[in-house]
Amino acid sequence: MRELLKNKKLVSFVIIAILSLFLIYASLMFLNAFLGALVVFVMARPFYSWLKTKKIAKPIAAWIIIVLSLLILIIPLFFLVHGLIDQTATIPQTIRNFDTFLTTIEEYVPFDIDLNEDKVIQQTVSFFEQILSPIFSNLFGTLANIILFYFLLYYMLIHDKKFIERIKRLLPFTEKNKSKVINKFGEITKSTIIGSLLIAIVQGGMLAVGFHFLGIHGALFWGFVTAILSFIPIIGSPIIWGPACVFFLSTGDITRAVILFIWGFLITLVDNFIRPITNKKYGRIHPLVSVIGVFIGLVQFGFIGIFIGPLLVAYVILFWEIYKEEYLE
């Protein structure tokens, strides 16, 4: 042991390794902030560069992007909360209509279907509490992630060239492949984010228009919810327009139920048209990557994982391809 302690180089290395592992472990709760800042940096850098060409100082240009991103975050969140409160008032009437529909069905099935209105309302309220409680129960962690996110984003922007050069130095590849990684990294990020946002806007807009013309209360709110759900493969928009079709059936309005079903089917096809266009323009990503990434991201990172998950899977594939090209071929 004494001989081991005399080896100052080894002792120093062990201390540094232990401290580094502890810092990595302690930083895991802030991984959302690190990854989120990196994604926004890649997306905002062209606009940031344009602002600099207009003779705007780097700090001011960075603050403009930060303020814009805050507005993009706060306004939809306020709209969502307001819409949830507004829609809660319609739950009792919706349940009564659905109960009437179930009563009609009971005439054709050999068993009773019992719908307890109070129980459904209680379970609905409990569901929303489960969604919102993690945000408020870990309010410090949420605020810390947001503050760190903007802190990192600010310094990534004002030191953008130095930041990219530092990343390049850390990559264990040739200069040619380092540049390739950086370029493909940007293409993958833009393809995933822009494609997903376009699909969300189109699907949410189409559903809002459909709900409006069919006379469904809160068309804009449900369009916004559909836009959010469109990031989740398989589930997506059908989880909104499907129950609405059932609602029309429950009121005996077969015509509107059929129209909404056809319109909803067209909404689900949007992904098949927009995704190939963005992939062709910014970089091809296999749909399977998006599906796997979204579910991994949701489990590991929560809602923001909808964006981060597919990107992480795509980045791993990218690094593996570069590794094969440089060391295995």
Convert the pLDDT of each residue in 240-263 to its tens digit.
Answer: 888 788 778 777 788 888 898 999
User: Which two tokens mark 283?
Assistant: 């970089």
Q: Is the pLDDT of residue 89 over 60?
A: no
pLDDT digits (tens, 9 = 90+) for 179-189: 888 887 887 78
All residues at 6 or more sequence positions from 74 whose CB lies less than 8 Å from its CB, including other chains? none
CB of 156 closer than 8 Å to CB of 38: yes
Query: Which pLDDT band holds residue 87 (cuts at 50, 70, 90)?
Result: low
pLDDT top residue among 61 and 193: 61
Q: Which amino acid is at 241?
A: W
Q: Token pair for residue 324?
A: 């094969």
Half-sphere exposure of residue 133: CA atoms within 13 angstroms, side-chain side: 6
Helix, strand and coil in the chain, % to nearest 5: 85, 0, 15
Q: How far is CA 201 from CA 155, 208, 323, in A?
A: 30, 10, 37
End-to-end CA distance of the chain: 46
Question: What is the predicted pLDDT for the residue at 314?
Answer: 79
What integer is the mean pLDDT of 205-214?
88
Burial of 52 (0-12, 13-18, 19+ CB in 10 A): middle
How does residue 154 score in pLDDT terms, banded at 50, 70 and 90?
very high
Is 301:149 a contact under the CB 8 Å cutoff? no
Q: What pLDDT does 109 receive?
A: 47
Domain range annotation of the chain: 31-170, 178-329
Q: What is the mean pLDDT of residues 225-248?
A: 78
Contact 83, 224 (CB under 8 A): yes
Averaged pLDDT for residues 67-93:
67
pLDDT of residue 192: 77
Which residue reads 């819409």 in tokens? 83
* Cβ pair 292, 313 in contact under 8 A: yes
* pLDDT (tens digit per residue) in 258-305: 898 999 888 888 877 776 666 666 555 666 666 777 777 777 776 677
Share of the chain above pLDDT 70, in %: 69
Residue 163 burial by Cβ neighbours in a 10 Å radius (0-12, 13-18, 19+): middle
Model confidence at 77: pLDDT above 70: no
- CA max distance for the chain: 88
Is the whole-model pTM more than 0.75? Answer: no
The pLDDT assigned to 63 comes to 92
Nearest-angstrom CA–CA distance, 60 and 55? 10
